Amino acid sequence: MSNASLGNLRILDLSRILAGPSCTQMLGDLGADIIKIERKGVGDDTRTWGPPFVTPKEGRATESAYYLAANRNKRSVEIDFNDTADLARLLALMETADVVVENFKTGALKKYGLDYSQLAERLPRLVWCSITGFGQTGPNAHRPGYDLLAQGFGGLMSITGEAGGEPMKVGVGITDLCTGLHASVAILAALRHRDATGEGQLIDLALADVQMAMLANQGTNYLTSGTSPTRAGNQHPNIVPYQVFEVRDGHVIVAVGNDEQYKRFCGLIGRPDLAEDPRFVTNPLRIENRQQIVSLIAKTLLDITRDDLLKGMEEKGIPGGPINTVGEALESDQARARGMKIEMAQEYAQSGSVSLIGNPIRMSRTPVTYRFAPPKLGTDTPLAFWADAQPSKI
């Protein structure tokens, strides 16, 4: 048995783009055998979502940086869904698998005989994770799902952006990524149940559901008050001061989390009077008088340099930090120390390797592993691969 956490699992990945692939990459990093099933001649949509693309040794570039983000530790098999022989081979692979992850539109797999309802009796131990925009039920079940649509439908865009400005999406596919994480958790829970009872089950995940669940305190703020939150830029709805401030030579994050930190912060910026002002002594009062206190702090910070403020906050135990570019973050000493930038050998790349973002999980007994770089389309399709299919080890 493998010493990887999930080294005895086989997962068929019939998903594409980001939510499903990020889930299966996570499980692959933890040791699972991930077989990425791709439509013949087309493959995952994100393979062509560039530039930038990996510079190839020869020919034209076919693998985008976007595709690289969620497809390591997988083998790629091309399938012609209109070919009965290929469908038979895929079904044979399903019989060896522990988990199937797919993000076809609701009901789309039925015409191929590959819907969970058609296979549950034949494959009773199989865990089937379906990821769609709006789930298998409800009035919107038929609608396609993309991250941007989920951010809009689920309320996130209404609270993201500057006050009075245009509704704004988050800079990455945050709903897709969080759906992938929810899918990972659900799959592991379903496998725990399967191991105890022998019963597989259907997992029904919707991007829109996940987005609404992600509203967290903003969602319960509405449920408690009956008033929908609105866009407030970088300000926090429940804490003051907790936002971005302009300083003499740039911008800094100030994340004061309690009244004691607030007192220390006022002393640091040379305004101890603000800690004693009866309008601002507690967080609820600062929220009530947000405009006044934020204006006073903002005016004061324009005379302080970025480095001086950050150094002083660190010395006094006041939460705060810089606003890095993506490059500054990934090239930082912290990122290097934590293994957040990795290189994986890949023969199709001109450089012989591809640069990827590392997995953030650190485990003392069964660490994540990086075994396969994101594969070219159909790398593992040859018939020899199909012969390698073995029944599940569980």
Quick check: is 176 catalytic? yes
Quick one: average pLDDT of 314-324? 96
pLDDT band at 390 (very low <50, low <70, confident <90, very high): low
pTM for this structure?
0.92
Quick one: average pLDDT of 182-205? 98
| pLDDT for position 61 | 86
Instruction: Report the 3 state secondary structure along the chain.
Output: CCCCCCCCCEEEEECCCCHHHHHHHHHHHCCCEEEEEEECCCCCHHHHCCCCECCECCCCCCCEHHHHCCCCCEEEEEECCCCHHHHHHHHHHHCCCCEEEECCCCCCCHHHCCCHHHHCCCCCCCEEEEEECCCCCCCCCCCCCCHHHHHHHCCHHHHCCCCCCCCCCCCCCHHHHHHHHHHHHHHHHHHHHHHHHCCCCEEEEEHHHHHHHCCHHHHHHHHHHCCCCCCCCCCCCCCCCEEEEEECCEEEEEECCCHHHHHHHHHHCCCCHHHHCCCCCCHHHHHHCHHHHHHHHHHHHCCCCHHHHHHHHHHCCCCEECCCCHHHHHCCHHHHHCCCEEEEECCCECCCEEEEECCCCCCCCCCCCCCCCCCCCCCCCCHHHHHCCCCCCC
Nearest to residue 318, comparing CAs of 274, 271, 254? 254
Question: Residue 384 pLDDT > 50, yes or no?
Answer: no
Question: Residue 3 pLDDT > 90, yes or no?
Answer: no
Condensed to tens digits (0 to 9), the pLDDT of residues 323-332 reads 999 999 999 9
Question: Residue 385 pLDDT > 70, yes or no?
Answer: no
| pLDDT for position 389 | 56
Condensed to tens digits (0 to 9), the pLDDT of residues 49-96 reads 999 999 999 888 889 999 999 999 999 999 999 999 999 999 999 999
Condensed to tens digits (0 to 9), the pLDDT of residues 26-57 reads 999 999 999 999 999 999 999 999 999 999 99
pLDDT band at 391 (very low <50, low <70, confident <90, very high): very low
| pLDDT for position 287 | 96
Active-site residue, selected from the candidate residues 29, 176, 204, 380: 176
| pLDDT for position 195 | 97
Question: Residue 393 pLDDT > 50, yes or no?
Answer: no
Angle between helices 19-29 and 174-197 in degrees, nearest 10: 50
| pLDDT for position 381 | 87
| pLDDT for position 60 | 87
For all residues of the chain together, what is the average pLDDT? 94
Condensed to tens digits (0 to 9), the pLDDT of residues 119-165 reads 999 999 999 999 999 999 999 999 988 999 999 999 999 999 999 89
| pLDDT for position 212 | 98
Question: Residue 383 pLDDT > 60, yes or no?
Answer: no
Condensed to tens digits (0 to 9), the pLDDT of residues 258-293 reads 999 999 999 999 999 999 999 999 999 999 999 999
Quick one: average pLDDT of 203-226? 97
Question: Residue 375 pLDDT > 80, yes or no?
Answer: yes
pLDDT band at 2 (very low <50, low <70, confident <90, very high): low
| pLDDT for position 1 | 41
